Structures are given as structure tokens and as C-alpha cells.
Amino acid sequence: MKIAVAGTGYVGLVTGVCLASKGYRVTCVDVDEEKVKIMQEGVSPIYEPGLSELMMESMENLTFTTDYAEAYKDAEVIFVGVGTPEKSDGSANLTYVYQVAKQIAQSADRDCVVVIKSTVPIGTNDKLESYIHDKQKNKDIKIYIASNPEFLAQGTAVRDTLHASRIVIGTEEEYPKQVLLKVYEKFEAPKLTVGRRSAEMVKYASNDFLALKISYVNEIANLCETVGADVEEVTKGMGLDPRIGNRFLNAGIGYGGSCFPKDTKALSWLARFNDKEIRTVRAAIEVNESQKFKLVKKAKKYYDDFLFLNIAILGCTFKPGTDDLREAPSLVNVPLLLEDGAHLRIWDPVGMENFRKRIGEKNICYCNTIEEALEDADLCLIFTEWDEVKKLDVRKYKELMKRPIVLDGRNCYPLERFENTGITYGSVGRRTVNDIN
Ligand SMILES: NC(=O)c1ccc[n+]([C@@H]2O[C@H](COP(=O)([O-])OP(=O)(O)OC[C@H]3O[C@@H](n4cnc5c(N)ncnc54)[C@H](O)[C@@H]3O)[C@@H](O)[C@H]2O)c1
């Protein structure tokens, strides 16, 4: 079976590589020439655990190209994994998906199934079908459209694809359904075949539910701080209830990334567009927006302003295991601190280059080690729960910092570790250890 994949981002490249690892011949298409050149040499342009290794192992089944016409011409299945970023009104920008649809319509020369993996608003697959049929150059062939939403999480994308929690296949006809069941035959995962609109909705409903869960726990955490409860103890108690489950109950400074922020806004927009209101999702968005600034607000207790302070920033990606900065809390907090005159010492194991490109160098020292970042710092803010941070001997905060005040936005440590250390340790939803009154 000849497979093409449009877009080689976190979804497209991981999909292509995982399919190739199962023995399919896969041609991955991207418009970004630089990226394609890198991939042709067997190098992954994104950081994702296990991806480079699997890509190397599967290179004989992989082709990377910018030549979409050649790739789509005789492909039997074309996966579409291009971006659907947020527009200024919160709705999903479908420009890239339609670009690919047009390219397929102009190039396809045999019956094929176009599989939409990109997250798209409910009804988009139907519209794409009409669009492709209108624009189709070869009118003798049939181009089917199937929805196959992606549930992988960055940081565990390869594992999530090879051992998916579920594979949702949304089709309106038997042929594309059978083709996709065949493609996924070698993937051990529950397979759910539904209508296309339901498949599109499964994706939004799932992501928005997880965002809701996070915002709910964060609000509970904020209240815990006020009433003297400990959110870790509370969520442990909640998580033992199988109806609640113990995952996605970590309190922190809010979700980021390329999916939750935009998918909550897109569903909210879609509801409003249809004269409905999803109030729970709107509340989750609002809570997340203010949660992002929690550490800086806490820091104001210790410093009236940040002028000339040395502030160590540990982690700048939106979560560990990825180099992705999209919607990361660090991106809104760092400019605020710089505006207030702070000097920043930033450490992140994989995200610093992207961060440097986005935020620049002025008043920022990019550090190769955590220790270097902590040197002479008046304050340390933890934005990402990297393993290196969790494993750090906390006495280092005292040894290296000028004033050991650590504010942890990801609850990286048990509180006991800071008892009797002389380090002021504040986190989310828990008491502050060695607080200064
Ligand atoms: N990143 C995630 O964790 C994740 C998880 C589930 C679903 N999704 C959804 O999957 C989609 C893709 O997300 P992503 O994070 O992989 O995006 P990304 O931005 O990392 O990658 C998109 C890629 O598509 C390429 N592209 C743009 N136009 C193209 C065209 N006409 N032909 C070929 N390539 C083209 C871009 O150059 C880029 O490399 C989005 O809809 C997203 O919501 C993402």
C-alpha cells in the first residue's frame, strides 16, 4: 500500500515514521525545504523521545519531499497532518488543510482515501469532500475523505502512536473504513468506527475535557492554599476514585502547548457560532489564562519590583519531553520580568534555542546547566518539570543562590525536602516551606 503524509510536524512525522516502521512505504511531504533536507539525511527536525531512532531504523521505507504532486499522484492513502492554528477570533485556521486538499485534488490520479488527522471543527470533513470534488482534475477517480483524529501527546508521541489508547475512524462509506482498518491492522489498539462528524467531535470533546480537568484541579489548588489544605493529598484522595482517575490531576501554572489552548478556544467559538455556549470550557480557558501568572504574582510577596534582580528560570517548554514552546507559560512571564528590569538566567535541556529565537538575548543569559542558572540568583522560578530539575539536590539552591527563594510552578518536590534547609519553597496548592513573613 502506498501512503503519503502531508505535513511533517509532531503529528505528521510521527505518523509517517510509525507507519514506515510497520513496513509501509511512506512519502512524507512538507513545504518547508530546510526541514525536508534535514529529514532526507535521516535526522528528525523535532525533538520527540524515540523518534530519531525509529526514523533511522525505518529510513528504507521513508521518502521525504516537497514535491507534493509526485507524492499524491498514485498514493492510495494520504494522511493530512498540517497545522490548524488559532485565528485571532479563536476559531481554527484551516488554510493549510485546504491548501493540501487543493494540491490533492490537482494531483491525485487514482482512487484514494484522504485521512484528516489535523484537528478540524465539526463539519470540516464534509466541506473538504465537496471542495475536493469541485476542484478535482481527474474526474474519473474517486477521492474519499475520512476523519482520523490524532490523540498523541508531545513527549510521548511515538509510544502514543504505536500503542494508542484508541484509533477513531470516522467515515461515511464502507470503502474508506475498510482501507483504514487495513492500514491500522498492525497497530494494537481499540478501534472505533463512527461517523465523520462524531470522529471530529471525539477529538475536541476529549481535549477540552482534559483541559477542564486541569483547570478544575488548579482552582482547587488555589483554594487549598487559602484554606490550608494540601492539593497533593487532596488529588491522591480524588484519584483513588476510578470514576475520576488519577491522571491529569497535577496542579500547576496551567496547560500550554499546541492543542489544549487552541482546541478549547475553537470549540467555544464553534458553539457560539451555532448560538450555543459551552460555559464549562469557557471557564477552563479563563482559569488557565490567570493561572499562568501565578508564580510572578507569588514572587511579588518577596520583591516589590524585579529591577536588577537575577532570576533563574528552570524550564521554558510547555512541558518536559518536548522542544515545543507553543503557549508555554514561560513565553508570557519572561517578557513581563524583562519589562520590570530583571536579569534572567535561563536553563532548559532542549527548548533554549527555540526560546532564544522567540525572545532574544537582551538581559538573558542562557545557561548550559541548572547550577549555572542558579548562580547568584535572587529568585528561582520553575516553569517546566524536567527530570533534571526533579533530581537536583535541593541544597544546591542554598549553596548557589544569593537569596534562596524557589517558586515551583510544577510541584517538582515533596515539601519535606525543604524542611530545615533555609530555602523558601513555594509551590502550587501547598503551604510554603520556610516562608518569610
Ligand atoms: N502536536 C500535537 O501534540 C498534536 C496532537 C494531536 C493533534 N494535533 C493536531 O495535528 C495537527 C498538526 O499539528 P502539529 O503539532 O504536528 O503541527 P506542526 O506545526 O508541528 O506541523 C505542521 C507541518 O505542516 C507543514 N505544512 C504546512 N502546509 C503544508 C502543505 N501544504 N503541505 C505539506 N506540509 C505542509 C508545516 O511546514 C509543518 O511542518 C494540528 O491540527 C493539531 O491540532 C497535534
How is the chain split into domains, by residue range?
A: 2-194, 203-291, 294-426
Atom of ligand 1 nearest to the CA of 263: 43
Per the listing, cell 461515511 goes with 172
Determine the Cα–Cα distance for residues 165 and 155; give it in Å rounded to an integer: 16
Collapsing DSSP states into helix, strand and coil, what is residue 159? Answer: helix
* Residues taking part in catalysis: 259
Determine the Cα–Cα distance for residues 270 and 257; give it in Å rounded to an integer: 21
Atom of ligand 1 nearest to the CA of 153: 3
Right CATH number for 2-194 from 3.90.1170.40, 3.20.20.70, 3.40.50.720, 3.10.180.10? 3.40.50.720
Identify the bridge partners of residue 310 per DSSP, sorted by sequence position: 343
Per the listing, cell 510554603 goes with 432
**Cell of residue 120, nine digits:** 478540524
- Nearest one of 65, 74, 63 to 36, comparing CA atoms: 65
pLDDT at 437: 75
Residues with CB under 6 A from ligand 1: 6-12, 29-32, 35, 81-84, 96, 99-100, 118-119, 150, 152-154, 258-259
Pinpoint the alpha helices (H) of 163-258.
174-183, 196-227, 231-239
Mean of the per-residue pLDDT values for the chain? 97
Atom of ligand 1 nearest to the CA of 84: 41
CB 257 within 8 A of CB 154: yes
Determine the Cα–Cα distance for residues 85 and 68; give it in Å rounded to an integer: 22
Determine the Cα–Cα distance for residues 81 and 119; give it in Å rounded to an integer: 8
What does each C-alpha distance from 347 to 40, 143, 175, 355, 368 come to in angstroms? 31, 49, 51, 10, 6
* CA 117 to ligand 1 center in whole angstroms: 9
Can 2-194 and 294-426 be said to share one CATH topology?
yes
Task: Name which residue sits closest to atom 20 of ligand 1, judged by CA.
Answer: 9
Residues in the chain: 437
Query: Averaged over 409-433, what is the pLDDT?
Result: 98
Confidence class for position 156, pLDDT limits 50, 70, 90: very high
**Most distant CA pair in the chain: distance in Å?**
78
User: Residue 60 pLDDT more than 90?
Assistant: yes
Task: Name which residue sits closest to atom 25 of ligand 1, judged by CA.
Answer: 7
Determine the Cα–Cα distance for residues 398 and 374; give it in Å rounded to an integer: 9
Q: pLDDT digit string (tens) for 256-283?
A: 998 999 999 999 999 999 999 999 999 9
* CA 5 to ligand 1 center in whole angstroms: 11
**Cell of residue 386, nine digits:** 524536567
Identify the bridge partners of residue 147 per DSSP, sorted by sequence position: 116, 170
* CA 239 to ligand 1 center in whole angstroms: 33
* CA 135 to ligand 1 center in whole angstroms: 23
CATH class for the region spanning 294-426: alpha beta
**Cell of residue 415, nine digits:** 515539601
Right CATH number for 203-291 from 3.40.50.300, 1.10.1040.10, 3.30.499.10, 1.10.3720.10? 1.10.1040.10
Element (H, E) at 169: strand 167-170
**Cell of residue 273, nine digits:** 457560532
Q: pLDDT digit string (tens) for 313-330?
A: 999 999 999 999 999 999
Query: Averaged over 368-396, what is the pLDDT?
Result: 98
Q: pLDDT digit string (tens) for 78-131?
A: 999 999 999 999 999 999 999 999 999 999 999 999 999 999 999 999 999 999
pLDDT at 384: 97
Pinpoint the alpha helices (H) of 306-412.
329-339, 352-359, 370-374, 387-391, 395-400
CB 213 within 8 A of CB 161: no
* CA 176 to ligand 1 center in whole angstroms: 22
Query: Averaged over 25-50, what is the pLDDT?
Result: 96
Atom of ligand 1 nearest to the CA of 29: 33
